[in-house]
Structure 1
Amino acid sequence: MSAGEPPAPIPGARLLFSLDPGVSYLNHGSFGAVPIGVQRAQQRLRDEIESNPLRFFAQGLSDRIIHTRRHLAAFLGADPEVSALVPNTTAAASLVLQSVKLEPADEVLLTDHAYGAVAMAARRRCRRAGATVRTVALPMGATDAELVSRVRSALRPGRTKLLIIDQIASATATTFPVREIAAAAHEHEIPVMVDAAHVPGMLLVDVASIGADFWVGNLHKWAFAPRGTALLSVAPEWRRKMEPLVVSWDQEQGFPHAVESQGTLDYTPWLTSPTGLFTLRTLGWEEVRAHNSALAGYGQRVVGEALNVPVAELPRPGDPDLAMRIVPLPAGLATTPPEAQALRQHIADKLAVETAVNAWGGRGLLRLSAQVYNRPEEYDRFAERLPQLLHDYRR
């Protein structure tokens, strides 16, 4: 389906969510949206806990976590024995960074598409070790071959101790050829962490075939899990080196149990996540991917046209199933993170539209998401009203 044709709605899908009908929620990518059935399944677990907390935490919890991990790992093509449930990709990044040995002459290599909190974690880890963080610039619109070449040229064998690469970048909705990039880094024995926060539920993935040393994806964005659910998969040779950020009672069992066992943590998001996958499969995952990518493309086109952005300047999706698209904002708008946040809030307040605005490369970028609860007319209304709002905002 071309970007000129909005997709037909998936019957009944909109009724699965409890989103405010007075708001156009075009920002599924930031925090996801939990279906009502998943919310209720989580509440039943909370009710179970409160009926007898000791029984819940002391009898069979570990087995339930293991069962859930295996279920999620199978969905993602990961080995459950070297994977762990974690709250999110940011927590996983800190876990990985502390597990990689760094000395004063070493460095961690990022790209300029790296998620802000992950970059902050890398800088803190390097600051404590006396190491450095270095960033390689990767232009939007570059071919896979160009991306691999740029990353390969930026590697410093002997000094680069970790490469962190996004599979789908949050700010720019750019996909990266992570399998090929990991292979290039491994030519110099440089470990690779893939930040795949947006991948589960949006793209087909086989984690094992990527060959990364560390891969982590959130299931609360596109796989309908409650927030606080992610899977971290590590290469077998790293298993003994993975230490939890907090020591708890299963410390001696090692990874993944030591990472997953965190005392009175709320485990209900993890244990409910298979219900999210069930919902996704019930809707028809192929149909969901086709719908979301087509609707995101449609939204990008109509909003881009409204802002007089030439079609050639609209960033193309690197994967046909991508459900997030970028529309460059007029020059001078949202060029810094605080300005981007202020504009996002202004759009929400004035237009009742939730979207994402990011500052990247000195340019403001509007990121549009599409999910089964969205409709073409939401993007049409947004396109009609946004130009005047931006005109008034700049005055």
Structure 2
Amino acid sequence: MTYDRSVSAGDPPPPIPGARLLFSLDAAIAYLNHGAFGAVPIGVQRAQRRLRDEAERNPMAFFRAPALTDRIVHTRRHLAQFLGADPEGSALVPNTTAGVSLVLQSVRLRPGDEVLLTDHGYGANALATRRQCRRDGATARTVALPVDAGDDEVVARIRGALRPGRTRLLVVDQITSPTAKVLPVREIATAARAHDIPVLVDAAHVPGMLPVDVDRIGADFWVGNLHKWGYAPRGTALLVVAPPWRRRMEPLVVSWEQDAGFPLNVEFQGTLDYTSWLAAPTGLFTLRTLGVEAVRRHNAALAAYGQRVVGAALGLAPADLPDPGAAEASMRVLPLPSGIGTTYAEAHAVRQRIADKLATEVAVNAWGGRGWLRLSAQVYNQAEEYESLAQHLPALLNDLR
């Protein structure tokens, strides 16, 4: 099948001038999977390198208290302000999954308790939840949400799945990883709060992609990565905790700031490489320099264009293309042909084949008994990369039948 530009259903957005030159990605690879590990701008890489050089010139001076902890606090305040979060109730953590594990440990489940998940949740967080439940004698339960469910249906299904007196924690994604669906977390938190059920929001993809005011969501816990859409070095995330829980938060590893309490007892971990955190404000500076709203509009429009182009090449009608539910969503999914990528191992193999044969990095996930292709869009991407994928993907998938 040959890609026909006439089926693209609209023009792609114009590129942001000079944005592609800010990244060191291999020009021979179409990197359409920013949502996986992000991509660090060159200026941010250099900022982190300078910090590492500083540490190696005199490690004692770099790690000495209170100089290092003061720098950590300053960075935390900067990131929290960007996200609309209380800096005193926020802690820097390595990634969202680390923050989720920290919350699961600190909630202190008891035998008979349950943690409620959705079937759109990130796999590693589901594993962490089940492990903690096994340790504490609790159970993990999953509520199913249709991929095309609107906000009202999502809230109604989750509300109906809550078991007051038994559900000890609700874990919900703000942007789902396998289905790129934006969930109405503020309304979900309100529904759970009516039954005094704490809510943990996995917001791994939110910082930088969506406008957010964390404190207004009303969740008990919220954690998001800055190293995806916020241009920070990898290993940078912010965990935000509501006031009633802060004194109960315990780090996964105890170090010298334990007596300081949350958040420093979580943040200070001895000889951890703190340079990713300290360089994170440079990432936000890069985002602001490009224009936060301009970047969001560009990325969302390009992701939608890519979804339409590739979907048309696979014979999908517009109605078959899931709507992420937010205008700024910079990830889009589309279903693969029946029987392709329906298990974790098969999805991984399809993704690797696309990378090897088409020099294109995408995400492929198995969800709901079907394989799903997830496309991301970032300022370094071009419309031609999606068009090339559309031209060559059908033949590759036909070979897998």
Is 1:3–1:294's contact at 8 Å kept on the other side of the alignment?
A: no
**SS, match of residue 388 in structure 1:** helix
Which 10-residue stretch deviates more, 57-66 or 44-53? 57-66
Which runs of 5 or more structure 2 residues have no equivalent in the other structure? 1-7
Task: Give TM-score scaled by structure 2 length.
Answer: 0.97
Whole-Å Cα distance in 2 between the matches of residues 131 and 101 of structure 1?
10
Whole-Å Cα distance in 1 between the matches of residues 11 and 220 of structure 2?
40
Give % identity.
Answer: 72
Deviation at 1:355, TM superposition (A): 0.3
Task: Give TM-score scaled by structure 1 length.
Answer: 0.99
Report the AA paired with residue 6 of structure 1: P
**1:239 — aligned with what?**
246
**1:96 — aligned with what?**
103
**2:223 — aligned with what?**
216
**SS, match of residue 399 in structure 2:** helix
Report the AA paired with residue 396 of structure 2: L
Q: Is structure 2 residue 35 aligned with structure 1 residue 4?
A: no
**1:329 — aligned with what?**
336
Is 1:107–1:161's contact at 8 Å kept on the other side of the alignment?
A: yes
Q: Per the alignment, do residues 28 and 3 of structure 1 end up closer, same or farther by CA in structure 2, a change over 3 Å counting?
A: farther
Q: What are the within-5 Å matches in structure 2 for residues 56-95 of structure 1?
A: 56-59=62-65, 60-95=67-102
Indicate which of 185, 188, 194 corresponds to 2:195. 188
**2:233 — aligned with what?**
226
**1:32 — aligned with what?**
38
**1:52 — aligned with what?**
58
Is 1:329–1:366's contact at 8 Å kept on the other side of the alignment?
A: yes
**1:15 — aligned with what?**
21
Q: Is structure 2 residue 156 aligned with structure 1 residue 149?
A: yes
Whole-Å Cα distance in 1 between the matches of residues 321 and 155 of structure 2?
22
Deviation at 1:393, TM superposition (A): 2.1
Report the AA paired with residue 32 of structure 1: G
The Cα offsets for residues 55-88 of structure 1, whole Å up to 9 and x where unpaired, read as 0000510000000000000000000001000000
The Cα offsets for residues 117-163 of structure 1, whole Å up to 9 and x where unpaired, read as 00000000000111100000011111111110000000000100000
Q: Is structure 2 residue 119 aligned with structure 1 residue 127?
A: no
**SS, match of residue 393 in structure 1:** coil
Whole-Å Cα distance in 2 between the matches of residues 322 and 185 of structure 1?
25
Q: Is structure 2 residue 320 aligned with structure 1 residue 313?
A: yes
Whole-Å Cα distance in 2 between the matches of residues 3 and 104 of structure 1?
54
Indicate which of 351, 376, 381 corresponds to 2:383. 376
Indicate which of 363, 369, 394 corresponds to 1:387. 394
The Cα offsets for residues 253-306 of structure 1, whole Å up to 9 and x where unpaired, read as 110000001000000000000000000000011110010000000000000000
Whole-Å Cα distance in 2 between the matches of residues 389 and 144 of structure 1?
36
**1:177 — aligned with what?**
184
**1:344 — aligned with what?**
351
Indicate which of 110, 117, 122 corresponds to 1:110. 117
Deviation at 1:3, TM superposition (A): 6.1
Q: Per the alignment, do residues 265 and 226 of structure 1 end up closer, same or farther by CA in structure 2, a change over 3 Å counting?
A: same
Is 1:315–1:327's contact at 8 Å kept on the other side of the alignment?
A: yes
The Cα offsets for residues 354-382 of structure 1, whole Å up to 9 and x where unpaired, read as 00000000010000000000000000000
**SS, match of residue 226 in structure 1:** coil
Which runs of 5 or more structure 1 residues have no equivalent in the other structure? none
Indicate which of 244, 253, 277 corresponds to 1:270. 277
Deviation at 1:101, TM superposition (A): 2.1
Whole-Å Cα distance in 2 between the matches of residues 326 and 5 of structure 1?
19
Whole-Å Cα distance in 2 between the matches of residues 392 and 143 of structure 1?
36
**1:284 — aligned with what?**
291
Whole-Å Cα distance in 1 between the matches of residues 272 and 100 of structure 2?
19
Whole-Å Cα distance in 1 between the matches of residues 22 and 247 of structure 2?
42
**2:4 — aligned with what?**
none
**2:171 — aligned with what?**
164
Deviation at 1:313, TM superposition (A): 0.9
Is 2:340–2:400's contact at 8 Å kept on the other side of the alignment?
A: no
**2:3 — aligned with what?**
none
Whole-Å Cα distance in 1 between the matches of residues 89 and 384 of structure 2?
45
Whole-Å Cα distance in 2 between the matches of residues 225 and 250 of structure 1?
25
Is 1:213–1:234's contact at 8 Å kept on the other side of the alignment?
A: yes
